Amino acid sequence: MGRRTIRNMEEFAALIGISRPTLSKYFHDPDSVRQSTRARIESAVERYDYRPNFFAMNQNRKLTKNIGIVVPYLADPFFAEIVRVIERQCISAGFSPTVFSSHGETELENDILDTLRSLKLAGALLAPLGRVSDKSAIETFCENVPTVLFDSNLEGMGEAFVGSDNHSFVEQTVQYLCRTGEPPCFYEMRNPANPNANKRRNAYIAVMEEMGLEPQFVRIDGQGWEFEEIGREGGLKVLREKSLPTNTVLCSNDRLAIGFLSACYENGVSVGRGNDCELRVASHDDHPFSKFTCPSLTTAAHDYAAVSDQAVETLFRLIESGGRFDTRTETQFPARLIMRESA
């Protein structure tokens, strides 16, 4: 609707009949100007469709309202879902989140961190790749940008860590499975990239030994992030070779379990907790699709809401504290057992 296009804030201010610094102040915080002035500005913004230049705006600002969100693999529904929630919370709080995915690659993660560093972020929420992360690159990043780690913890990096308590996941599933049937073997990738996988393995060993039982592993081959396919191939193999040591399988994560269940179905192996079933399968994560597997998957759920709330809230506190905490805190939320049909 604007008669002509506005070049800059100077012109726009003149058009409204106020000074540029006042306008600048308005864009920085609409409540910092008088109500009548604000109304005039806002009606003019409507009419002329003016927006301040993003780059000029951020160039001289001490601190921007930009937040960087980095996850290892955005095509994983688990991360997609948690990012979805976190993004919304940042927007609600008046920040501008930007999402990046490392696509499972160390080099890309480093590139993203480099890009982010030049963005004068107010803060960053970083879920690192884990084992394949370039530790020194992440350390350098955290020194330059107020960062809260989530999902995967890297010893001492960032101002805080928020995630789930892997021990709690495994403890609940193992105890439940032992209480209701044969003790489970642990189905996992031989070389998992994610540090959470190692923690789950260790938790499994600890819980089993505590109960006086011997840990048993089914380790499958595979690289990359296509966990369903890896879980399926591994499942087809162990079913063909009949090498499962027990009738109860505890998968390290839901994506592996989804693949494993598909292998069971294909081989006509009945899964469930009924007496007529050959196998019980449980897992961890409460993946968005675990409700729709056949049978539906018994799993230990992340407290998605608590993790994302806490991560975001911690970051906001960090930003308000000027980017540094006195002591690094680690928050880990316990899991919640979701009993469905598979075990």
Partner DNA sequence: AACAAAATTTTACGCGCGCAAATTTTCCAG
Partner DNA sequence: CTGGAAAATTTGCGCGCGTAAAATTTTGTT
By CB under 7 A, residue 5 contacts DNA: no
Amino acid identity for residue 100 in this structure: F
Q: Pick between residue 198 and residue 296 the one whose CB is nearest to a second copy.
A: 296
Strands of the sheet containing 298-301, edge to edge, are 217-220, 185-189, 248-251, 280-285, 298-301, 336-338
Cβ atoms of 72 and 127 within 8 Å: the answer is yes
Name which of 59 and 223 has its Cβ closer to DNA. Answer: 59
Q: Does 180 bind DNA (CB under 7 A)?
A: no
* CB closer to DNA out of 60 and 275: 60
Binding of residue 4 to a second copy (CB under 8 A): no
Site string for a second copy, 79-118 (x = CB under 8 A): -xx-xx--xx--x----x-xxxx-x----x-----xx-xx
Tell whether residue 323 is a contact of DNA (CB under 7 A).
no
Q: Indicate whether 119 belongs to the interface with a second copy (CB under 8 A).
A: yes
CB atoms closer than 10 angstroms to residue 145: 21
CA torsion 97→81→93→196, rounded to 10°?
-80
Name the packing angle between helices 227-240 and 254-266 (round to 10°): 40
- Give the three-state DSSP class for 164: strand
What is the rounded CA–CA span in Å between residue 88 and residue 138? 25
| Binder among 198, 216, 296, 332 for a second copy (CB under 8 A) | 296
Are the C-beta atoms of 257 and 299 separated by less than 8 Å? yes
Q: Which does 7 bind (CB under 5 to 8 A by kind): DNA, a second copy, none?
A: DNA
Longest CA span, the chain: 82
The answer to the question of residue 246 lying near DNA (CB under 7 A) is: no
Binding site for a second copy (CB under 8 A): 49, 51-56, 58-59, 74-77, 80-81, 83-84, 87-88, 91, 96, 98-101, 103, 108, 114-115, 117-120, 140, 228-229, 232, 258-259, 261-262, 265-266, 288-289, 291-296, 341
